[in-house]
Amino acid sequence: MDININLKNIRKVINNTFFPLLFNKDRFLVLRGSAGSGKSAFIVMLILLRILIGYKTGIKHNILCIRKTAASIRESVFKEFNTWIDRWGLSELVTINKTLYSFEFSNGSRIISMGCDDEEKLKSISGITTIWIEEANQLSLKDFKVINDRLRGIIRAKQQIMLTFNPISKLSWIYNYFFVNKKHNATLHHSTWRDNPHNGKVYEQEMMAYKEIDENHWRIYSEGEWGSLKDLIYSNYNIMDKFPSMDTFHDSCYGLDFGFNHPSSLIFVGEKDGEYYIKECLYQTKLTNTELIDEVKKIISPEEREDKYIYYDTAEPARATEFYQAGFLMRPADKSVKDGIDFCRRKTLHIDPYSVNLITELQSYKNREDKDGNVLDEPVKFKDDAVDGMRYGMYTHFGNLGIEPGFYTY
């Protein structure tokens, strides 16, 4: 098939802030930005352009797209590639595997997706020309070193690792690795939602509203600046290299925060020798209650459903009733925010390394400030779905001894 590559109108396709990066040759292309800046869409277009140009140059590209977990790829990386393949009318050139989240092009180029939770498979990959790490702040430095080692060997194509992320916290390894200890072979780029001409007035209002919620969250999500470490609620946690098996714990339970536009969040809490082990089991938007029940059934086995309590958000008792009717042991959570947080803060928390949304929330979960900068004894109500689920289970099951085991609200 004869492919006509015409780049005359490329400036109309690529946002001005990203255009100088089109032919960047550094090994590392580090894109820090706010929500809605268009950085992920740019990377997808850049990858597709490289593949299309390869039809003329005879270069076959092997593109590896990485996220911390394979489960998070479908609604981000895979969805974004499908969008632009459709917009650019490339469907006839591509075979799409919806199970493996891969794209095979007619010239032999391919795009494959993988999570860091399959480390052995990741180590076996060779011949990669480009790597894109989406939500790179969710990876560990160890993950990054494994990925960086995949890009080696002598091949015709330019080899490059591209990272995209919101700068949630200066605790991230990215901050020290690229921004403090600057690399000679790395291009650092900053963008905000203002650089994306496709954002409308409603989105602008949404971004500016972040400032009313909290100054720190406004800097991160609207301005794409590094988050402040001031007034964080939780510092009593460590991120494990490997989460223990479920039969390790003396006692355990789940916390469930219902959502739809906000994520529904299911968090496992295990206790051993007075310390607590926390794992994010589900974190997903747009799930109806029937769909949510089906997802939780995949996580909690029929055997577990007989003796593992799920402590739920009491704001939606009808949804809890449906769970109860589906065979789950549902209990209303004690939603005492201050007491619950105080209990969780007094304990040692060990966090599963693949609980990416929970970790992100822990790194930015902070107390509110008034207009004069005084710190208030209450958390900012923003991006707290996983930490709420953790608190529901941990405090109600292990900390609140006043609740009776047989108490229902159905």
Measured CA to CA in angstroms, residue 262 lies from 109, 265, 410 at distances of 37, 9, 24
Q: What tokens were used for 47? A: 């990858």
Rounded CA separation 145/116 (Å): 11
Q: Residue ranges per domain, the chain?
A: 10-196, 237-399
The CATH architecture to which 237-399 belongs is 2-Layer Sandwich (3.30)
- Single-letter amino acid, residue 58: G
Write out pLDDT tens, residues 198-213. 888 888 888 888 888 8
Q: Which carries the bigger pLDDT value, residue 204 or residue 405?
A: 204
Q: What tokens were used for 306? A: 């007989």
Q: Which carries the bigger pLDDT value, residue 124 or residue 278?
A: 278
**Mean pLDDT computed over 234-263:** 95
pLDDT at position 406 is 45
The confidence band for 401, taking pLDDT boundaries of 50, 70 and 90, is low
Across 10-159, where does the E strand assignment appear? 28-33, 62-67, 94-97, 102-105, 110-115, 130-134
Residue 216 has pLDDT above 90, yes or no: no
Q: Angle CA(51)–CA(54)–CA(59) in degrees, nearest 5?
A: 115
Sheet holding 275-284, edge to edge: 237-239, 349-351, 275-284, 264-272, 251-257, 309-312, 329-332
Q: Please state the three-class secondary structure of 192-235 as a single string.
A: CHHHCCCCCHHHHHHHHHHHHHCHHHHHHHCCCCCCCCCCECCC
Sheet holding 186-191, edge to edge: 94-97, 102-105, 110-115, 62-67, 130-134, 160-165, 28-33, 186-191
Q: What tokens were used for 327? A: 């065979």
Write out pLDDT tens, residues 127-157. 899 999 999 999 999 999 989 988 876 566 7
Q: Angle CA(248)–CA(251)–CA(257) in degrees, nearest 5?
A: 110
pLDDT at position 2 is 63
pLDDT at position 155 is 62
Q: What is the signed CA dihedral for 295, 296, 297, 300, rounded to 10 degrees?
A: 140
Report the SS3 class of residue 385: helix
Q: Tell me which residue of 143, 362, 136 sits closest to 242, measured CA to CA.
A: 143
Report phi then psi at 307, rounded to 5: -145, 5
- Single-letter amino acid, residue 259: G
**Mean pLDDT computed over 357-369:** 90
Q: List all residues 6 or more positions away from 59 whose beta carbon is below 8 Å from its beta carbon.
A: 53, 129, 156, 157
| 188, 29 Cβ separation under 8 angstroms | no
Q: Does domain 10-196 correspond to CATH entry 3.40.50.740?
A: no
Mean of pLDDT over the chain: 90
Rounded CA separation 182/174 (Å): 11
pLDDT at position 195 is 92
Residue 126 has pLDDT above 90, yes or no: no
Q: Tell me which residue of 41, 51, 26 sits closest to 161, measured CA to CA.
A: 26
**Mean pLDDT computed over 352-362:** 95
Write out pLDDT tens, residues 315-341. 999 999 999 999 999 999 999 999 999
Write out pLDDT tens, residues 247-258. 899 999 999 999
| 26, 187 Cβ separation under 8 angstroms | yes
Tell me the pTM. 0.86
**Mean pLDDT computed over 388-408:** 76
Rounded CA separation 270/390 (Å): 11
**Mean pLDDT computed over 357-378:** 84
pLDDT cut 90: percent of the chain above it: 69
Write out pLDDT tens, residues 22-81. 989 999 999 999 999 999 999 999 999 999 999 988 999 999 999 999 888 988 899 999
The confidence band for 402, taking pLDDT boundaries of 50, 70 and 90, is very low
Q: What tokens were used for 166? A: 């919101």
pLDDT at position 8 is 75
| 320, 410 Cβ separation under 8 angstroms | yes
Could you identify the residue written with the tokens 């223990």? 244
The confidence band for 307, taking pLDDT boundaries of 50, 70 and 90, is very high
pLDDT at position 409 is 46
